[in-house]
């Protein structure tokens, strides 16, 4: 049984005339009649009652007509979705997101993409940069919002935004009593840090600045994600450098202070696998670039993959 057999039967059942059905299908009437006979033989059921004057559905034919319409409808939808996927109009965009990167700018980019491609669903995963890089390489993510530096030749990236580091500390912590912090103040200070297996170099500049001042912070507690890190800080397990964007969300028991000068700002990059030629990804990159400031466009437009 093939889809064409179902289409032939549905046409005859709806027209109740082999002649009209043949005209509708642009077939000769004898081959159409033969195909219906073959279908009935395969099913082992008579679908149509024929006479020289009329054609009518049997009880089996009425049941089969409903099922045939469902199958043909599903086949048509599958064809439409396949064509839409080929054009990047339907499917799923898998996005890795860092908690501090969930800013208004990202929301604006996602909203712009959704308005242009409403048939594409978002699947967002909150992951550390290192986890995102692993999943991008394993083709488990399409794009990710990661921290630089990446140092990877198999990945492409575009700049999204940058923000300064600030200090997150529990309410009443001794460092909050200082009018101005110095790097030496962090000597033997317990830090709450994302576990090294889940991040790549996020704390390097902070620790280097402390070391240059002769200060050696200690690890007070490791966390597996940013939200756990903030909770542990508020619970008094230590302090930590974090993005200023995290200070925009009010959290009980947490206070944010400026760090001593000298640290580079933390950059957030949109990252994707160089070999990923998905039209869904290409369209997302186009929307991403369009949402950037005009002054940035010439520098990043060349990074887009060929469509």
pLDDT tens digits along 181-217: 999 999 999 999 999 888 878 899 999 999 999 999 9
Q: Are residues 299 and 230 in the same domain?
A: no
CATH number for the domain that contains residue 182? 3.40.190.10
The answer to whether residues 54 and 137 belong to one domain is no
pLDDT in tens, 214-257: 999 999 999 988 889 999 999 999 999 998 888 887 888 999 99
| pLDDT of amino acid 102 | 72
How many domains does the structure of the chain reveal? 3
Print the domain residue range for 200: 165-264
**Whether residue 98 is found in the same domain as residue 75:** no
Q: Has residue 297 been placed in a domain? A: yes
- Provide mean pLDDT across the span 77-93: 77
Asked if residue 258 belongs to a domain, the reply is yes
- Give a yes or no: residue 251 inside a domain: yes
Q: Are residues 58 and 117 in the same domain?
A: no
pLDDT of 88? 63
Task: Considering only residues 105 and 136, tell me which one the structure prediction assigns the higher pLDDT.
Answer: 136
Q: Is residue 159 part of a domain?
A: no
Task: Give the pLDDT confidence score for residue 150 in this predicted structure.
Answer: 67
The pTM for the full model equals 0.68
Cβ atoms of residues 24 and 15 within 8 Å? yes
Could you say which of 33, 52, 86 is where a domain stops? Answer: 86
Q: In the predicted model, what is the mean pLDDT of the chain?
A: 87
Q: What's the mean pLDDT in 64-70?
A: 92
- In this structure, is residue 158 part of a structural domain? no
Confidence of residue 50 (pLDDT cuts 50, 70, 90): confident
Average pLDDT for 39-46: 91
Supply the pLDDT for residue 299: 39
**CATH code, domain carrying 61:** 1.10.10.10
Q: Is 201 left (phi over 0), alpha (psi -120 to 50) or beta?
A: left
């Amino acid at each position: 049984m093939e889809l064409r057999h179902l289409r032939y039967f549905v046409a005859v059942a709806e027209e109740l005339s082999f002649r009209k059905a043949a005209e509708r299908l642009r077939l000769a009437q004898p081959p159409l009649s033969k195909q219906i006979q073959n279908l009935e033989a395969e099913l082992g059921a008579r679908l149509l009652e024929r006479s020289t004057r009329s054609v009518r559905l049997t009880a089996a034919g009425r049941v089969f007509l409903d099922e045939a319409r469902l199958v043909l409808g599903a086949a048509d939808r599958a064809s439409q979705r396949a064509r839409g996927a080929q054009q990047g109009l339907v499917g799923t965009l898998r996005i890795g997101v860092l908690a501090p990167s969930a800013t208004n700018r990202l929301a604006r980019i996602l909203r712009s993409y959704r308005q242009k491609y409403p048939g594409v669903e978002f699947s967002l995963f909150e992951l550390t940069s290192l986890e995102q890089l692993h999943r991008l390489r394993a083709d488990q993510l399409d794009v990710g919002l990661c921290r630089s530096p990446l140092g990877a030749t198999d990945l492409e990236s575009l700049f999204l935004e940058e923000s300064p580091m600030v200090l997150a500390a529990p309410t009443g912590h001794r460092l909050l009593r200082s009018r101005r912090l110095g790097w030496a103040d962090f000597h033997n200070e317990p830090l709450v840090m994302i576990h090294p297996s889940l991040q790549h170099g996020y704390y390097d500049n902070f620790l280097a600045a402390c070391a240059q001042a002769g200060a050696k912070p200690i690890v007070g507690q490791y966390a597996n994600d940013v939200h756990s890190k903030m909770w542990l800080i508020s619970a008094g397990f230590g302090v930590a450098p974090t993005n200023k964007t995290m200070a925009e969300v009010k959290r009980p028991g947490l206070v944010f202070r400026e760090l001593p000068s000298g640290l580079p700002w933390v950059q957030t990059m949109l990252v994707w696998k160089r070999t990923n030629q998905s039209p869904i990804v290409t369209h997302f990159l186009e929307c991403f670039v369009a949402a950037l400031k005009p002054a940035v466009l010439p520098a990043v437009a060349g990074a887009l993959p060929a469509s």
